[in-house]
Structure 1
């Protein structure tokens, strides 16, 4: 029997911070666990790891605590397993479009049978099937992200908890895999889970990701989930708030991130403060976080500066140490061991897990049950009785929690929230995603007296001085859903918007105003315009991040506002305050007349310090920009592309020099426009020439080398050089820093291949152009992007190291001017060697 033991310690403090009382050390690197996605322990405590193409058990032959070798258990995976676990000696894993089992056929302690499929499901994508575990009740539990809706047809139990499940789910599956039920749903993309006390499950769910600073954004959260809970994910632009009556218990809110591993720690080796709780991993920021059952939060480990620590999974050894894997998206793989600086000396023990608990862990009110019933109905319908019940509870002397539940019931009584139908009679602009949390799925055709009564009651609640922010927020939403033709509702929401200090809360109210079918007066139009002008500026001044959905959603909002009020766009652009760079968000969906007026206004107030985005916006117009302005833009790196675009749109002979420079812009649109302009002027398109003397020397010898290729280029010798010079690592290796060379001879001839080998920066495809980052500390980091978000960049450098640069550390970011492929790869080679290498490349 082979067991991995941990004896000595490797100091990892130079790159990874760890909490007081703990140590951290790297025990495996990318050579053993490349791009590691999942780990577990086998029945004898060995670490088993998976990544693209493999599942293997790791070996520590010399007992120094570091793994030196491995034994493959499963190969041929299309991707790394997203879930790994052992049960009764057999290995189960999630990969290759299924749940698979591998058994130990010769009782040697290693599983070795051919994999057998237990369940066919969609796997491999980042929002598909993930972790699985055998529960204390003897049933299988599987978690899947919000990209696996087609899996719902697998549900086959009688009277399921969720007749119409949606989005990310936890499955409960019989031991023989024959009976399957959705146990909880509404997660966005939770990767992992573990069993908590009292028949519950701890889950770390993803955030709204692309919805930063939008009113419906929900952060990553650790949930304690009971059967029947709905974690609230309805659509890409709507997830219910934490106070919704169907939500799981929220243990912690951890902000932005990418949740991966989850572990309930059952040992006692670590300090007491890391017991009685759940460990969770965040891939984006490389955080290991402990969340106590008492809702305490403590960071356990995180990278220092720009060190890479892309954590993917977590497990514990039989003696109570914690192992964390890193990898994902082609990044560098590895394993890290977290241990106590002074381990507890008592014998390892397992804490009792009370499971299952037939006593419900959360009391559900009458209103809560009614909400559950309505959300499980086959189709959205109008339920007047439910609306009347909601009104009764709002009229009663209740607390905020009950009022919030009553508002949720009132919304469900008119069909509930969610994506709009394409044929909705309320108009195409009113079914846009921006309204997913503000529009009933169907028109709220309640009795007019009931609508009027509800509107009056809600307006009073909104104005009440003791109303909490959460209550006011939901009152505004409910008014938007009811769509009352009420001047009083408009006035109440508009007045409330003026009192809000948060721009996000103001935007919430602006969206609600766009839902009200009320005729607009000049004063009402001005109120809307003031909100439209103020909100983006306040977001910028408070340094609140916005992400990819910001422009799209606000563009949809403008279209809806314009449909309600045809004057709003003209009033916006003509307002003296219009022209701040953040106001460009409103131009994405402007009419052509509004766009040109906005460009002329921006140009009229511009100077040499013009914002680059404003300059680019002006440059996209049809009007010629004065050459005096363009010359100023060409002097600055930030506005040079805009200047080139202006020249290209109205080219003259005097512009040829600058257009020749524009051909080498990093911006594809600029390159294409410059080439078109040069052709229009009858000019040749210039080619990039390297200033390197070494490159020029090789290019001078190109004719002789190409002759050798034709006469005596040896493919086998070239293949050996390709391996020795480590070309395969970047081109056909797992990290794929460069393009695959398979079939390259069908796209390029020997002369092109030689030029690309000698001068790799001559022509870099946009897809493989590296990113260069200047940090606030003056450090320059260059690498291929693995992941980019509003919070920063994760890069893979030329030496296959993963680095993470957060936004607050970035001084400047731009495409790299040179290739990650170094020019010196041919150093020391003879002309014949290079000819052999080109011959090999020509054979691929």
Structure 2
């Protein structure tokens, strides 16, 4: 009996142990499945354009395969991806439905780490390495060529073709093939010094900082020692020789792409710490023409788009962190999206479709959110031969994944082969390309062709022509500076001469400008002239008081002009020239400007001014610093304001400082807020209550409408013309697209319809926290969430491992009740101002 009982007990224990082990293995399998399925953002969290579907192809195991940042397609249709800090992986997506698994993701045997650019071409794999390792000989930064010499489908030979000094996130990046298939183009961010072995440069090698009133470095010290020329694009032959510099002045363009016309584009980064300042430049699509300069400089020094020596942007996007880009050519998408330029925003988790349109010989365009999720740190993207768009997420140690987007709608996906031919834009582009060809191989007619087109109405043709002249040498410029009758051409040849000449060229340069009648110039010609005067002062030895007299006779009475762009440049030049009573006029503009960006610009212009002050002007000027305390911006915003104030105090006599002590050192922001009473509530307005007065106003006061726009804090998030913020939609053209009813709905019921581009995400964490906002930065498992658009520097940290649920927020990030402190008549004027496009 005892033996039989013992056997029964053993049998029961065995069964229980089996059940226990089975349960453990099942739970482990389930937990592993859960982690693999949900560690990367699930595909069902994506919002896409109608007719498209996002799919998670492969959830990258971070412990063994890292965080993928670059992607390309090899000749056999396999994907190659590289970890930011690790090796190279090959992914076979030829299985059922293109799905990948662990078995078809192969770690390549080659010793390669940290490539942020990959390209299969000329029978090799090219890799642009951007990581510093202990073995600098094996894994040095720069362009490498990897070749399979044994035919075993592995890369066994490595050649370091172009050494580059990289290692930071603004280092060497993407690689692409030239349209003729003969060269390789590469790009790099502004922390990458130019390669040592430049054979030739399409960019005239006279880059400088070029700030008339000086520049302040970033208030937090970022890149304070990084000077021009900034990030660059260059090309080489397949063996790495014949390195040609194509364009400069980028901040951190991660990728580049050619369209069907052979025109090059990039998606360049902003400096998010600058948000709210006049020198902030949003992420933007650049048309990278030959010899282009895009004007990145550190700190306050970014050049505005309208400078004649900076080419500017084709499309401004907004805050973000640009990564991979590619055109949709070859995708089984509707024609509109085959032609689109797809660009990835790493921090805000967006894939944008940019729809470029010819504008003269260059381009302009629009964009839409093509796909988005939170978080979605997209890094690179390619169109695969299977007709789908594949992209990776990762970077900074964040969870990586491989996704694809397919079209599942009803429109035709036949290849779109239509090319724009025989149009005015095509003819202008051909002319520009002809001029640009002389940047590479100057011919006898270069000078005549360039001079003939220096005053062309097309900006890109003017830029190409001036560059062609500069590449021919300073003697050509000296010969032409006083001969040109065309006003635009004369201004630009002075710009060129100032960049290349010596102090001996100053009299001729000033004479050429002084002879030009201001009244006969367009707005862009006036800003070009003001920049030309500034470059003469910066580069040719300054402008003495006697040299300033004819300039002041022409320009002093022109300020303020009423045009914000011209007034910003006029203020700087007139302060530099010590124009009579200019300090008082600039202080007035500072006080009356509705946007904080314009106010900061004028405060910055006056910070080093030593003449023309009175006690009352000092009081008004320093009172502004008290008033600006309520303004918000990026992480460096407050530091910039404090540094401007500190610089200005250096020019205040001690007795004035004593008299104005309470103004210079006011109460804290909290105490000041108590003194400043808010506007009283008028009514919690509804759309129906305002519809009639907005549609049929008895009178219209556009100036009051602009004031309401400012008082309602709209300028903090929205741009109107040249003024305002960029966190919300640009409202300059809103009046042409929306009815008065639509505008009222957008302001009074902001959550009724929320664009994916400006939508927020609601995160529920395991400790019960609810965080609503937009993911703006990531590092490992940490998300940085902006919860208040009026205070972009104030962010909440969320540990991704604690998130129980993430879903689109139902409420807009635009605050409710913004109009409730205004009267019917004021709101009617606001709508009229919006419908006018900001024109008063």
Taking structure 1 as the reference length, what is the TM-score of the superposition? 0.62
| 1:100 and 2:132 matched | no
Distance 2:190 2:605 in 1: 27
Correspondent of 1:403 among 520, 526, 532: 526
Greater relative contact order: 1 or 2 (C-alpha under 8 angstroms, separation 6 or more)?
A: 2
Q: Secondary structure at the match of 1:50?
A: strand
Distance apart, 1:504 and its partner CA: 1.7
Distance 2:384 2:674 in 1: 68
Q: Secondary structure at the match of 1:223?
A: strand
Aligned to 2:88: 55
Q: Secondary structure at the match of 2:144?
A: strand
Correspondent of 2:549 among 422, 438, 452: 452
Q: Which stretch shifts more, 163-172 or 566-575? A: 566-575
Aligned to 1:509: 602
| 1:239 and 2:306 matched | no
Q: Secondary structure at the match of 2:232?
A: strand
Distance 1:263 1:381 in 2: 48
Distance 1:505 1:476 in 2: 11
Q: Does structure 2 retain, via aligned residues, the 8 Å contact 1:391–1:410?
A: no
Q: Does structure 1 retain, via aligned residues, the 8 Å contact 2:92–2:105?
A: yes
Aligned to 1:113: 156
Q: Does structure 1 retain, via aligned residues, the 8 Å contact 2:388–2:405?
A: yes
Aligned to 2:403: 336
| 1:578 and 2:613 matched | no
Q: Secondary structure at the match of 2:80?
A: strand
Correspondent of 1:253 among 316, 324, 341: 316
Structure 2 CA distance for partners of 1:456 and 1:277, relative to 1, 3 Å: farther
Aligned to 1:547: 634
Distance apart, 1:551 and its partner CA: 3.2
Aligned to 1:21: 51
How do residues 276-295 of structure 1 correspond to structure 2 at under 5 angstroms? 276-294=339-357, 295=364
| 1:805 and 2:785 matched | yes
Distance apart, 1:474 and its partner CA: 1.6
Distance 2:559 2:412 in 1: 59
**Which contiguous aligned blocks of 4+ residues in structure 1 show a shift greater than 6 angstroms?**
349-356, 378-382, 601-606, 809-817
Distance apart, 1:560 and its partner CA: 1.9
| 1:794 and 2:778 matched | yes
Unpaired stretches in structure 1, ≥5 consecutive residues: 1-9, 417-441, 540-544, 583-600, 607-774, 784-788, 821-844
Correspondent of 1:30 among 53, 60, 74: 60
Structure 2 CA distance for partners of 1:805 and 1:448, relative to 1, 3 Å: closer
Distance 2:502 2:396 in 1: 39
Structure 2 CA distance for partners of 1:507 and 1:779, relative to 1, 3 Å: same
Deviations 1:746-771 (A, max 9, x none): xxxxxxxxxxxxxxxxxxxxxxxxxx
Aligned to 1:122: 165
Aligned to 1:90: 124
How do residues 202-351 of structure 1 correspond to structure 2 at under 5 angstroms? 202-248=265-311, 250-267=313-330, 269-294=332-357, 295-304=364-373, 307-342=374-409, 348=415
Distance apart, 1:396 and its partner CA: 4.8
Structure 2 CA distance for partners of 1:90 and 1:493, relative to 1, 3 Å: same
Structure 2 CA distance for partners of 1:382 and 1:473, relative to 1, 3 Å: farther
Q: Does structure 2 retain, via aligned residues, the 8 Å contact 1:283–1:310?
A: yes
| 1:81 and 2:61 matched | no
Structure 2 CA distance for partners of 1:112 and 1:383, relative to 1, 3 Å: same
Distance apart, 1:199 and its partner CA: 4.4
Structure 2 CA distance for partners of 1:200 and 1:387, relative to 1, 3 Å: farther
Q: Does structure 1 retain, via aligned residues, the 8 Å contact 2:254–2:322?
A: yes
| 1:385 and 2:516 matched | no
Distance 1:396 1:35 in 2: 58
Q: Does structure 2 retain, via aligned residues, the 8 Å contact 1:22–1:339?
A: yes
| 1:42 and 2:74 matched | yes
Distance 1:536 1:452 in 2: 39
Aligned to 2:134: none
Distance 1:571 1:340 in 2: 70
Distance 1:556 1:219 in 2: 23
Structure 2 CA distance for partners of 1:181 and 1:502, relative to 1, 3 Å: same
Distance 1:245 1:603 in 2: 43
Q: Does structure 2 retain, via aligned residues, the 8 Å contact 1:287–1:299?
A: no
Structure 2 CA distance for partners of 1:74 and 1:573, relative to 1, 3 Å: farther
| 1:358 and 2:455 matched | no
Distance apart, 1:49 and its partner CA: 0.8
Distance apart, 1:179 and its partner CA: 1.6
Q: Secondary structure at the match of 2:642?
A: helix
Correspondent of 2:586 among 493, 502, 505: 493
Q: Secondary structure at the match of 1:126?
A: coil
Q: Secondary structure at the match of 2:462?
A: coil
Structure 2 CA distance for partners of 1:347 and 1:196, relative to 1, 3 Å: closer
Q: Does structure 1 retain, via aligned residues, the 8 Å contact 2:187–2:232?
A: yes
Correspondent of 1:71 among 106, 113, 121: 106
Distance apart, 1:343 and its partner CA: 6.8
Q: Does structure 2 retain, via aligned residues, the 8 Å contact 1:382–1:445?
A: no
Q: Secondary structure at the match of 2:55?
A: strand
Distance apart, 1:246 and its partner CA: 3.0
Q: Does structure 2 retain, via aligned residues, the 8 Å contact 1:162–1:228?
A: no
How do residues 569-718 of structure 1 correspond to structure 2 at under 5 angstroms? 570=658, 573-575=661-663, 578-581=666-669
Distance 1:132 1:388 in 2: 46
Q: Secondary structure at the match of 1:564?
A: coil
Distance 1:88 1:351 in 2: 29
Q: Does structure 1 retain, via aligned residues, the 8 Å contact 2:149–2:155?
A: yes
Distance apart, 1:454 and its partner CA: 2.2
Q: Does structure 1 retain, via aligned residues, the 8 Å contact 2:323–2:380?
A: yes
Structure 2 CA distance for partners of 1:313 and 1:74, relative to 1, 3 Å: farther
- Count of residues in Structure 1 that have an aligned counterpart in Structure 2: 576
Distance apart, 1:376 and its partner CA: 4.7
| 1:564 and 2:544 matched | no
Correspondent of 1:780 among 745, 765, 777: 765
Distance 1:130 1:379 in 2: 37
Q: Does structure 2 retain, via aligned residues, the 8 Å contact 1:287–1:311?
A: yes
Structure 2 CA distance for partners of 1:793 and 1:12, relative to 1, 3 Å: closer
| 1:469 and 2:564 matched | yes
Distance 1:400 1:28 in 2: 53
Q: Does structure 2 retain, via aligned residues, the 8 Å contact 1:394–1:403?
A: no
Q: Does structure 2 retain, via aligned residues, the 8 Å contact 1:302–1:309?
A: no
Distance 1:324 1:807 in 2: 28
Distance 1:576 1:31 in 2: 57
Q: Secondary structure at the match of 2:157?
A: coil
Distance apart, 1:279 and its partner CA: 1.3
Distance 2:192 2:388 in 1: 34
Aligned to 2:536: 413
Distance apart, 1:373 and its partner CA: 2.7
Q: Does structure 2 retain, via aligned residues, the 8 Å contact 1:21–1:271?
A: no
CA RMSD of superposed structures (Å) = 3.8
Deviations 1:631-668 (A, max 9, x none): xxxxxxxxxxxxxxxxxxxxxxxxxxxxxxxxxxxxxx
Q: Does structure 1 retain, via aligned residues, the 8 Å contact 2:252–2:268?
A: yes
Q: Does structure 1 retain, via aligned residues, the 8 Å contact 2:174–2:186?
A: yes
Structure 2 CA distance for partners of 1:404 and 1:20, relative to 1, 3 Å: same
Q: Secondary structure at the match of 2:535?
A: helix
Q: Secondary structure at the match of 1:25?
A: strand
Q: Does structure 2 retain, via aligned residues, the 8 Å contact 1:127–1:145?
A: yes
Q: Does structure 2 retain, via aligned residues, the 8 Å contact 1:287–1:303?
A: yes
